[in-house]
């Protein structure tokens, strides 16, 4: 009787420990999946879908786990669309040279994003802060253009660097773009923001 009671207690303890470990594994996996939930939208041929939008920066914040830009845009029917554009983490971007002043609320922008499966959400590929009469524009490039890529090479051959971003990391870059340079890019690479597309 004592042996059966002892075995029963050990069995119950083992089951409780096993259930606790299983629950912990599920919680850890769920957290990891929740954080890394960006699943790019793919075309029929398996390529990441890139969408280009024109709008105004409502909000730009260096944050963890991902920096965020909210861009107010308008669709072809005149309906408002608020896009959430994700970037790398605060620590990564600050190490590269991004600051709180890299973008500002009210900036008129054209943004190329790697589309998510979720509506109005994507990961930044490039953002052009439009040049105006008072100042040059800036072209900030990120995902999919990093390092020694054809797009990065074409931009480096045609545009001066802002000097804000550390080029040794090869992750993102900032280029100065005046109206004449933008016109030359758009003439050489026809299409909406085609100069940053593969």
Structure tokens, 139: 């072209």
For 56-115, how does the pLDDT look when each residue is reduced to its tens digit (9 = 90+)?
999 999 999 999 999 999 999 999 999 999 998 999 899 999 999 999 999 999 999 999
The pTM of the full predicted model, rounded to 2 decimals, is 0.78
Average pLDDT for residues 166-176, to the nearest whole number? 85
User: What is the pLDDT, as a whole number, of residue 27?
Assistant: 45
DSSP per-residue codes, 153-175: HHHHHHS-B-S-S-GGG-S-EEE
Question: How confident is the model at residue 105, as a pLDDT?
Answer: 97
- So what's the pLDDT on residue 135? 87
Q: What is the pLDDT of residue 168?
A: 78
The tens digit of pLDDT for each residue in 112-156 reads 999 998 899 999 999 999 998 888 999 999 876 777 788 988 999
- CA–CA dist 112, 151 (Å, integer): 13
The pLDDT, as a whole number, for residue 3 is 54
| pLDDT at position 33 | 43
pLDDT at position 34 is 47
Q: How confident is the model at residue 29 (pLDDT cuts 50, 70, 90)?
A: very low
3-state secondary structure 70-107: EEEEECCCCCEEEEEEECCCHHHHHHHCCCCCCCCCCC
Residue 21, pLDDT > 50, answer no
| C-beta of residue 160 within 8 angstroms of C-beta of residue 176 | yes
User: Tokens 């990093």 identify what position?
Assistant: 146
pLDDT value at residue 28: 44
Task: Tell me what pLDDT residue 38 has.
Answer: 59
Residues 113 and 41: beta-carbon distance below 8 Å: no
Q: Please name the residues in contact with 112: beta carbons below 8 A apart, sequence gap of 6 or more.
A: 50, 51, 52, 124, 125, 126, 127, 193, 196, 197
Residues in the chain: 198
């Amino acid at each position: 009787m004592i042996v059966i009671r002892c075995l029963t207690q050990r069995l119950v303890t083992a089951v409780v420990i096993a259930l606790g470990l299983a629950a912990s594994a599920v919680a850890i996996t769920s957290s990891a999946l929740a954080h890394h939930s960006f699943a790019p939208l793919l075309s029929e041929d398996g390529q990441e879908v890139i969408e280009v939008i024109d709008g105004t920066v409502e909000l730009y914040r260096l944050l963890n786990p991902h920096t965020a830009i909210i861009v107010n845009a308008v669709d072809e029917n005149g309906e408002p669309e608020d896009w959430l554009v994700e970037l790398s983490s605060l620590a990564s971007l600050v190490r590269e040279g991004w600051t709180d002043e890299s973008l500002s609320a009210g900036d008129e922008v054209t943004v190329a994003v790697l589309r998510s499966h979720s509506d109005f959400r994507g990961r930044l590929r490039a953002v052009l802060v439009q040049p105006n009469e008072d100042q040059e524009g800036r072209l900030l490039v990120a995902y999919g253009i990093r390092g020694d890529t054809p797009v990065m090479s074409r931009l480096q051959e045609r545009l001066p660097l802002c000097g804000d971003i550390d080029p040794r990391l090869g992750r993102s870059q900032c280029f100065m773009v005046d109206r004449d340079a933008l016109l030359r890019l758009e003439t050489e690479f026809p299409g909406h923001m085609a100069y940053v597309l593969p």
